[in-house]
Structure 1
Amino acid sequence: MDLKALFIGALCATQPLGILAQNGMDDPVLMRVDGQPVSRSEFEAIYKKNNQDAPVTREALDEYLELFINYKLKVREAESLGMDTVQKFEQELAGYRDQLARPYLIDRELNEGLIKEAYDRSRWEVRASHILVQMPTDPTPEDTLAAWERITALRDRVVGGEDFAAVAQGRGGSDDPSVSRNGGDLGWFSAMQMVYPFETAAYSTEIGEVSAPVRTRFGYHIIKVMGKREARGQVKVAHIMLRSTEQDDSTRQADAERRIREVYGKLLAGEVSFDDAALRYSEDEATSTKGGELPMFGTGKMIEEFEDVSFALSEDGEVSAPFRTRFGWHIVKRLEYKPPPSFEQARPELKAKIAKDSRAEVTRQAFLARLLQEYGYVPYTGNLKAVSALLDSNFFKKGTVLMDTLLRSDLQEGEFEREGGPYRRELTGQLVGGQLVNVRSRRYDDLEHAPTDTVIVRDVHMGWSYDRKKAAKLTKPVATFDGVSLDQRSLLDYLERVQQRERPVPYSEVVGERFGDFVDERVLQHENDKLEEKYPEFRLLMKEYRDGILLFELTDEKVWSRAVEDSAGLEAYYDAHRLDFMWEPRFKATLYECADSGTSSKVRSLYRKGKRGGEIANELNTTSALNVRVEEGLWTAQEKPYLQGVIEPGLTNNFEVDGRVVIADLQEVLPAAPKTLEEARGSITAAYQDHLEKVWVDELKAKYPVVVDQDVLYSIR
């Protein structure tokens, strides 16, 4: 997330629904900024959002009022500069509004039920097998009937006692490409891992039973539930893998097993760490340099054997014995385990997944049904016949592509009519020595173009366009709702916009289908347009986002970016305030952090022999890099408290620090002194920004009068 989004998101964290209900219609003006009213509800919503756990007192209201006034002054200045009218601002605000409006355009009660349903299901895992009968993307009634009869016949065979896997793998069985390998067995899975109708059937079917046929976007399924168990949570592991498959000869397979057992023996004997073993021996190139570490995973993310071994490890750090999968031999080390989350922990992720899942359409349709009833929707389907009469076969052809070859002398690009409708011709390339040279290539640009050259063209069908003259009199309504009338021409405009290449059907049928989509779109848009009117909390939230964008843009211009870019101003501020940015007394020293007192004695011995820093570390770290760690630098007593009071150059006494022994070789003590501009640039820049903002706010207070109604302010409870 960028700084701007973070700023606006923090400023405008979503207001809990219903906080404004106490105001009813009574929402007096709390203050006026340059004559513009600010309501009590606006101030109260922001105040309570930022002071949720604090009691409401006069002192707290007065303190927050000062911040709020400064905020509104900056927004007023942005408005006076016209920043709220520029296209970039309007587009950005519209983008935020689209996001904020989404929760208001679904059935929130049903959506909450779907979240709870998904959570309840996620606490269990299901093992199931299936048989799939596929259907085309846009099936005809005949396609659907044929698929239904076939899946029903397959189910009858299974229910009649035939083996499920044998039926799935047999002639005329499952269309799932993986059936030859798994017999239809999908392994273990949990909620949100399968399409919603399939998931619902799997969780609703008893162990050992076969579901009724279930339709999904893939076709018809029957599902046999093999088992159910409590969810196992998530686990993070590292692994060492040696590749070995069933296609390898016996010698190679035996060699892989021998080598993995040798590695396991080294791990048990402590001859090598797991990280080092992964780096040296693992043949998984993606993880070997990271100690074999894999991302956290749950059921259904890895192959079953790997998951079972990983979840069987009972504590972090435990290492499995070697085991085999179809990819080879593995040794697994458990790094972290997370049990299944609580509902509150899982809710945000489930909510986000449902918004992208087919479940979202369930809530959308329920919401639309409620809106149609609320708005008094009335269809006039008798007026659709005249719309259907204006369609022609081109409606089903938009986007159809025809490739052709012709001589350059015959080439005419652009729109044209040909048998079958309107097309747009595009030049795609030229044949050179029997090979196609693309028009976007540099080589094509370098070619000489002769009238006799053979070129390749792409003709794209432009689709159907209704006859405007014939439609001039089509003004009858096709639907009305909430005072809105949708006429025949508006439906024609919609049909022209959404047409696509598809299977031809009777015109009345396609108009009837698209009519429902047309009404849904317009009703949703109508509701969207009314959100500020219907929901006071949404109106205030949108105002916060609007003001937040303006505040960010102008503050960035006047304060933040200016403080960074105005080097002369920053230097002048530093010169005037250099004593505000002081170094405490600092100790210039070399620190020797030793594993124990014995090692510290060796450091002292080598020091007396004239060795220093890295020389000492190199000599003492031959057995372990952790024996001595050397660090040179400048430190304050706050950073290294044990240096407090040290004044004599040379080696200090031993200091016990976090289980280690530290010796300091003090070179000198630097007295307190002003920091240079470079040394304190961050803190000086921040102080300069505060200075610029104070000067700016004082100017705004002088420019825009502010009048506060104290009685309204103190009426907030």
Structure 2
Amino acid sequence: MSKRLFISFFTFLTTLCIFAQQNDPVVFKINGTPVYKSEVEKAYKKGGPENNETINEFVERYINFKLNVAEAKAERLDTTARYQRQFTTYRSQLAIPYLQDTKYEDEYIAQIYNRMLENVEINHVMFPFERAEIVLPADTLAAYKKAMEGRAKILEKGFANAGFNTERSGARFLPKAESRNGYMGWISPFMLASNVEDAIYNLPEMEVSMPIRAARGYHIVQVLKKRPAMGSAEIEQVIFNFTQIPPMLNQIDSVGKVAWREYKNIKSGKETFDALCEEFTRVHQTDKKNCYFGVVGLDSNLPLDFTTAALNLKDPGEISEPVMSDYGFHIIKLLKRIPIASLDEIKPQLREKIIRSDKVQNLSNEKRRLQKSNFNVRINNDAYAKLIEIAQEISPRDSVFLTRIKNQNEIIIDIDGKRGYPVSEFEKYIRNRQISQKKNIDEPTLSQIEEASPYSLSTDILKEYLESFTSFLLSAYEDDTLEKRSPKFAQIINAISEDLLLFEVKDKNVWKRSMTDEKGLTEYFSQNKANYSLNDTKYKGLVIYAQNQSLLKKAKSIVDKTKKHDLIIEKIKSTLNKDSITVKIEPGLWSKGENPYVDNKIFNGDEPAPYNGYPYFFVTGKLIDTPEDFTDVRNKVEQDYQEQLEKDWATYLKNKYTVEINQSVLNTIR
């Protein structure tokens, strides 16, 4: 049996084996180590009948497999770097389904997708913290008080009359949606902070929310209407620019008149949008593609009036009335409407968008909750309270925070009462987080990012750090204890280990030896020479190529003085090829038609094409009808020698190990 088939057979069997129970009878023992009926029976039912084997024939091979594993361990092959590397790789891959529960992730992505199918029209106001980057608990009180006062005013007068509308000249390109106070218009996911968005999509129409704390301040929202999502629009535009920004009133009037005149000409058929675009590109010395604007959606960072006009276009080719921004008047042409794609189509992109947003915190929180539910995690609140005291005055993102920690030796986290972690370990983690805050992560993943939401409140940051640190510890603990907690995984890993050990021990003692043991191959050939023959007369020797006739002559001189081929090769290498390869040597065994240079010199063949860079050649050797040594029939000798080594190896193992078979139990397996 080839080594590939051999390995594949037992890989298949061992992955099906079930660990024995206390009432599982023993089929056989190897040096006292039992192998149980459940394992043998399962393996036989899946592997034995396919090979038309009786149970006794199968068990003989299965015992041989187990003997090889035992010998591999005896030779400590499970400690080699190659085994450890392969085992670690397999284990890491196989552990993923046991360590990563992605159900909650899929559910959350579906939730956000469902929100994408609905637009919400809102009023909004934010009451910012005085210090946006680092916020201490005392800083939130003033903002919360203002937010509550603002809510009371909204309830009394309504959003429109409460004085919170953002002043606009025309339609500004606002930096962020959260900066828009008063009527915000229609929104979609990812436009506001995650917890603000959560409130919006769960708030009844016309109800005014309580203040919602986010990273930069408190938000109050009111839902006006809901509608099916409009998707996005791919558009072109022609802009009639103001000559200065901000524009004077007379500029707004004059530019507006031109824009409206051109719009009316298009609507009346006197002109086309394409002709207007060509004129625009000629005047501004751009090319046609510069009328192309791109795709516009609710979450585009564009003025409300511009976005509304683009999304209100229904049919391709339809144009909008002139829309004013701080830069001029825009006439927009719809190229096509783009509906929301199906979840299956956009799931990878949506997941990536979630990971890059503050929504990733929701995934992290759920992951942590599920982790904690599997273990007994205890937080030392006394030790944590001392850190909270520091966070009341200093943000954990500030390096000064670490200098204030004095209780490094106290245990802050305990897992299952088996592993305790001191504050000093948490301190190291905080230091690493401070460093990571300064780095850019190009391709963040859930495992890389535990704090995607830019927390600003110092105590929130500390809480997040502790939660993230706990999750980090639980992930390591979960991996370390996986075999103990999951018998099924332990079974799979044991099967992988045995499979790797089988390969290692056979490769070392049989397969590799059958190819590299020159002495053994020579002896085996000598003892079995009568079993080998050549299918025709062959030329055995060397083809020697030279760069010039002088070198060719020198090579011939060496051949005349040295008859053995290995000595010829060594002599040419040490004299003619000392600094560079001036003479090439090709050893071999050739039949007629297999080598044009041999054919020419030995079998009266045609003159061959010159060898590239070595146009002069000659051959040395002889014709043979029977193999002289194992190299003449190497492949066949190696195969036969391997079979002999397999038999010898099996005999060696049977003599070394004591095998006890319980025939009465074996007879019950059918």
Pick the TM interval, shorter chain: 0.3 to 0.5
Higher share in helix: 2
Whose RCO is larger (CA < 8 A, sep 6+)? 2
TM-score under structure 2 normalisation?
0.48
Higher share in strand: 1
Structure showing greater Rg: 2
TM-score under structure 1 normalisation?
0.45
